[in-house]
Chains A and B, each alone.
Chain A
């Protein structure tokens, strides 16, 4: 047997103070991020904020600076540029404006045609979102996250016990907050695809937590004499190997997506990588201590 982890006896629960401090910080950053998003100060994607994003692929290399000058000359305000120099690709994003949808993209293409007549381009993609749709997508995303969390709470409470449901939900919410917070600090775009990643992370992290809880439930029945804390520690140690192996395989595929999956999925896979790491950490260090904290008495495990 090749074993990464051999009969470990790590006192995970004993480190809960450090874990709570670390998780507290991560969660606070996440909450700040949510407040910033709600007040519209975060780097919201076009799909949430409304606006125009166009990606051009030029024939010849082109200077970002030159494009910036040209667009400013055309009177365009509040835009940002991103380039992918290896493929001569430029992404122009314009936050929501007073101008009608469609006119911004026309202004941009006209400006490029006039200023760079000998550098032909193709338009890779155009995204124009009116403020109404942006608001609706924002509301939908918030609702989706809320419904997913409630659904998880109900299922885990039904399969285990309310206490466990709370522990699992907090741990899951913590992961979502942490990844959102890290994205916010990195200045990454908060968009629909990130929400997708966050919900996937929620699902993944919950799986991890459920596996741990499952073992705790089993051991609670078998080892009646030991303290709850000891049983939790034993259980976490027992499933540690599985936790790490599965995290590794998901990380493999996430990294494959990150490096080879193309530009569009870049941030998505970054979120997944972060999420898998945070999710693994939280199922070990966050979920069980919360159950312990919540119920001082011996938690009763429902029958299977």
Chain B
């Protein structure tokens, strides 16, 4: 009997020590521990969720359909090019994932089907219509999601966030968690920008260009495009340049007629850096092309001296300077009245590369650092007050036995925190609520036993017999009641999102640990008291 108790006491002591060691990093004491301790012992502790430490939780959808459309357009261009090399002049136009080719004959048909096995025929009469095969579309979407994930990871690495979490969810979603980010808006823009950089020639030769309005107010762009639809040459489009009047702050949009086909794109970049304009000390982004890009750029500028070349990012014109001379060396610059931060972010997205498809934001949950701090403080206060209230009530109602229950409660809290720390579990605000509720529920096991003991005492049993049979009889009730709580906690864990998962973790850990403290902790103390001397009276 004695040995048994000793074993249980050692078990309790060891678990408490382990719990404290794991939880130490969450306390200010950890700083004062000796060097060897901090290096070799657990140093992570409980991790605070985004809702407590502040940060962003973003969910984006990769618009894979758009990626497929882009690919279809590329195929159309390739088909046209391939056939023209074989002296077959055709028009190839893409719409969605379909490509229409006119005119049609059996030779053209054969050439296309031999060279583009990924295209599935839709119609073959006077015109040939193909579409990207379903398998190909699926592959494009999948690749787009992978690439987007990689690109976002690159951008965030360069932006500098400690411990970001970036992962794919389902077929086409990307979840980004950024703890402790101070400027959420900037981070969202940085991630969400497609960053498709294109160099397009301005078509000032078309007569219609002169008819475009000087500038329009923001929001009226669509009207201009509608007005000129069908009147502009087929290989051109209207894009807008944003101009801000420095004195008044008024924003105007200037329509520019551009060649649809990009002469050069951002995937040929090798680097992008922020530089400061020496005259106005305004930041700009200088870009360098790789060797192939530099060659294309040199030919392009050489062949179009005197024309304007527009620098287009995500369908917005940043500037459209006149090409004064052939430019060798592969360097160019992007100006656009940037702030220092804007220029820096632009250089990041250009370096990290464009997203294969636009992103659509599905969810944004941002918590500022002050709210998180307030929540932690409030949680602590509520926890302490709740614990004290429960502890006092137990002493009031069950006297010395209540004190033993309070000891078990304390043990419960220590072990719960230790268990969470050892798992490096994420503590969220609902998680704090879970801990506090677990405190209220933790005494239930003891209440069940104490009530049983009272029953046994009333029935005339000796205190020792009352304790023993009280435990025995209460055991299955305690077990059943804990399992039912665990079922709901498991369901919450399975279905919940971040914060709710945190709640499920604390609640289920709290309940499991409670089984241990109730069945081993309190029982040992009663046994110690009982073995010292046979109790005549049980303070319950």
Contact = CB atoms under 8 A, between A and B. Distances in A.
A281 B184 CA distance: 47
Given A151-B487, A256-B386, A261 B371 contact: no
A132 B451 CA distance: 51
A159 B382 CA distance: 36
Interface in A201-249: 202-204, 206-207, 210-211, 214-215, 218, 238-239, 241-242, 245-246, 248-249
A148 B486 CA distance: 10
Contacts of B396: 2
Contact of B494 (A144, A211, A250): A144
A260 B381 contact: yes
A211 B488 CA distance: 17
Interface in A148-205: 148, 151-152, 155-156, 159, 192-193, 196, 199-200, 202-204
A282 interface: no
A304 interface: yes
Given A101-B362, A125-B366, A261-B382, A256 B436 contact: yes
A128 B364 contact: yes
Interface string B93-121: 00000000000000000000000000000
A155 B492 CA distance: 17
Given A144-B495, A210-B481, A124 B371 contact: yes
A223 to B, nearest CB: 15
Interface string A113-139: 000000000111111111011000100
A261 B362 contact: no
Contact of A207 (B363, B399, B436, B444): B444
Nearest to B402: A2
B489 interface: yes
B487 A148 contact: yes
Nearest to A129: B363
Interface in A99-118: 100-102
A241 B374 CA distance: 38
A193 B430 contact: yes
Contacts of A214: 476-477, 480
A125 B495 CA distance: 24
Nearest to A126: B366
A193 B51 CA distance: 13
Contact of A192 (B184, B188, B441, B497): B497
B367 A125 contact: yes
Interface size on A, as a range, is 35 or more
A178 B305 CA distance: 78
A265 B362 contact: no
A279 B496 CA distance: 23
A18 interface: no
Nearest to B409: A249
A57 interface: yes
Contacts of A202: 488
A207 B485 contact: yes
Contacts of B455: 238
B23 interface: no
Contact of B361 (A102, A241, A248): A102
Contacts of A127: 364-366
Interface residues of B, number: 75
Most chain A Cβ neighbours within 10 Å, of B393, B437, B497? B437
Interface of chain A, main secondary structure: helix
- State the majority secondary structure of interface residues on B: helix
B390 A253 contact: yes
Contacts of A151: 487-488, 490-491
Nearest to B364: A128
A262 B378 contact: yes
Interface string A32-61: 000000000000000000000001010000
A250 B440 contact: yes
Contacts of B360: 100-101, 130
A261 B436 contact: yes
A141 interface: yes
B451 A241 contact: yes
Contacts of B441: 204, 207, 246, 249-250
A257 interface: yes
A239 B379 CA distance: 32
Contacts of A21: none
A154 B366 CA distance: 40
A22 interface: no
B392 to A, nearest CB: 9
B507 interface: yes
B336 interface: no
Given A101-B360, A141-B495, 13 more contacts: A2-B396, A101-B361, A130-B362, A148-B491, A151-B487, A155-B487, A200-B437, A210-B484, A250-B440, A253-B439, A256-B385, A256-B389, A262-B374
What 3 A-B pairs have minimum CB-CB distances, sorted nearest first? A262-B378, A253-B440, A256-B386
Interface of B: 51, 59, 61, 184, 188, 360-368, 370-371, 374-375, 377-379, 381-383, 385-387, 389-390, 393-394, 396-397, 399, 429-430, 432-434, 436-437, 439-441, 443-444, 447-448, 451, 454-455, 473, 476-477, 480-485, 487-492, 494-497, 499-500, 503, 507, 540
